[in-house]
Chains A and B, each alone.
Chain A
Amino acid sequence: METMMAKSREDIEADVRDVLVDALGVDEDDVVPTATLKGDLGAESIDYLDIVFRLEKKFSLPEKPFKIAQGELFPENLMTDPSLVEGGKVTAKGIALLKTKVPHVDVSEFEKNPEISKLPNHFTVKSLCDFTQRKLSA
C-alpha cells in the first residue's frame, strides 16, 4: 500500500535527484537544493522538456497521473508576451504573473534586475522539489 501514502519531502528530493542525474548526466553529489539547473547543472533548452517528461513518469501513479502542462513548471510561453517583457526586462506585471504562475521559483533576487535572459538562473533543484511537492498534494 506504499503507493497510496503521500511521499515525504525526503522521498521527493531523492526522486528529483534521480531525474536530474538521468536527464543531465550529472553527479548525484552535485544535485543540491541550491544548484541552478542552467548554471550549475548545465541544462540546455531541450533538457527542460526531458526533465518535464521524466518527472511525469517518475511521479505518475495509475490512479493519479502526474501531468505537467506547458508553462506550468518552466514559464517559457508566458514570457513571449510583449506586455510582460519590455526591452529585455520583465515588467512589473510580468513579475506579478511569475509569482502567481510559478510560485516554486524564488523571484526575490531576480526582480532587483529582471533581465529575462537571467530568469533561468533562478530555477534551482529546490524549485523542482517545491513544484513537485505542491502538485502532488493538490
Chain B
Amino acid sequence: MRWMWIDQVIAFEPRKRLVAVKCVSLAEEHLHQHFAAKGDLPPRPVMPSSLLLEGMAQTAGILVGSVHDFREKVVLAKVASAVFDRDILPGETVRYDATIERMDDMGASAVGVIDRFSFVDNSWAPVGRVELMFSHLDQNRAGTEFPEENFVFGENFRTLLEGAGLKRFTAR
C-alpha cells in the first residue's frame, strides 16, 4: 500500500500550480488516538499537523516531479516554515494548493496554502501555509550513489496518480 495523503487532483497548471483535496474520515484509525478521551475530556479527533504537512509535500512534490515528466527523483529536503491555525475534523475536506516559487536543476522551492471545507459551516476556511524545498536527488549526490530506478515516482505511484485524476489534466 502506498503512503498516499491526497485523494484527488482538482487543478493543474503545468510548471506552476497543482491543487489536490483529501477527505478526512473517522475510519482513519490514527484519529482515534489523536486525541482519545482522557479522564473527563471527551475524544477530540483532529488530523495531525504532520500529516497535513505530508499531504502538502505530496501535492507540491507531484507538481515538481511533473515538470520533468517524473524522471527526477524528487525528495522533500526542507520545511522552511509551516504555520497551522485551525484543526481539521473528520467529515471535513482539506484542499492543498501548491505553487512552485523557483526551480533549477538542483531542486525547487514551493509554497503551499491549506484550506478546509466544513459541511457544518458550509464554507471554506484557511488552515495554514507552508514553504517547502525539494531536491533532485541525482543532481545532489555529494558522492552518494542512488539506485537507477526511480523509487520516488515508480509505476505504482503513477497508477495511483491516474486514479487521483491527474491524467484528466495531462491527457492530450
Contacts and interface: CB of A to CB of B under 8 A. Distances in A.
B102 A46 contact: no
A45 B133 contact: no
A70 B81 CA distance: 25
Contacts of A23: 80
A35 to B, nearest CB: 20
Chain B binding surface SS class: strand
Contacts of A70: 104-106
B78 A50 contact: yes
18 contacts: A22-B81, A46-B77, A46-B78, A46-B133, A46-B135, A47-B78, A49-B107, A49-B109, A49-B133, A50-B80, A50-B133, A53-B101, A53-B102, A53-B109, A56-B102, A57-B102, A70-B104, A70-B106
Interface residues of A, number: 11
A56 to B, nearest CB: 6
B135 A49 contact: yes
Interface of A: 22-23, 45-47, 49-50, 53, 56-57, 70
Interface residues of B, number: 15
Chain A binding surface SS class: helix
Nearest to B136: A49
Nearest to B140: A45
Contacts of B109: 49-50, 53
A96 B3 CA distance: 49
